[in-house]
Copies of this chain bind each other. A is one copy, B any other.
Amino acid sequence: VPHRSWLALVVIDVADLDRGAAFWAAALRGRVVQQPFGEGIYLSVAVPTGAGEFTLLMQQVPEAKTARTRVHLDIATDGLDAEVARLEQLGATRQRTVRERGVRFVVLEDPDHNEFCVIPGRRDDDWPSW
């Protein structure tokens, strides 16, 4: 019997669903979507990508982070310092600046200390500015 499969979403472990969802929605202009199934354990943020939406699913877990995040999100921007400042205002913590092969990017942590990066990028559509 043939079957189908596809990349559905990224799950992010958090200690507080509302805090995690609020941060990622604000960071990426996403919509917080509660599905009845997930009440109390999951909370979605539907993030625009330019072609549809991509889902980040907050998953409430009891344990705190203990090691480097081995799967992480990158946010691209055409205004690196302004974007990092904006994300810090939203509750992110700047961890360090990296310069690699001439490209500068910044590693931050979300409110649950999950690392993510802000990297330089360009796009030529009508993507809205902050």
54-85 of chain A: CB within 8 A of chain B: 54, 57, 61, 63, 65-79, 82-83
The residue that A4 contacts in the complex, of B10, B11, B119, B128, with Cβ under 8 A, is B128
Say yes or no: A10 contacts B73, CB within 8 Å: yes
Determine the residue in chain B with the shortest Cβ distance to A75.
B5
Interface string of A1-18 (1 = CB under 8 A from B): 111111111111100000
Say yes or no: B1 contacts A101, CB within 8 Å: no
**Chain B residues, CB < 8 A from A61:** 70
94-128 of chain A: CB within 8 A of chain B: 100-101, 103, 112, 114, 117-119, 121, 123, 127-128
Determine the residue in chain B with the shortest Cβ distance to A9.
B74
Say whether, besides A52-B51, A103-B37, A71 and B5 are in contact (CB < 8 Å).
Answer: no
Say yes or no: B78 contacts A4, CB within 8 Å: yes
Roughly how many angstroms separate A103 CA and B83 CA in the complex, as a whole number? 39
Say whether, besides A11-B117, A51-B52, A52-B51, A4 and B71 are in contact (CB < 8 Å).
Answer: no
Top 7 closest A-B pairs, CB basis? A3-B79, A51-B52, A2-B129, A8-B76, A67-B67, A5-B77, A51-B51
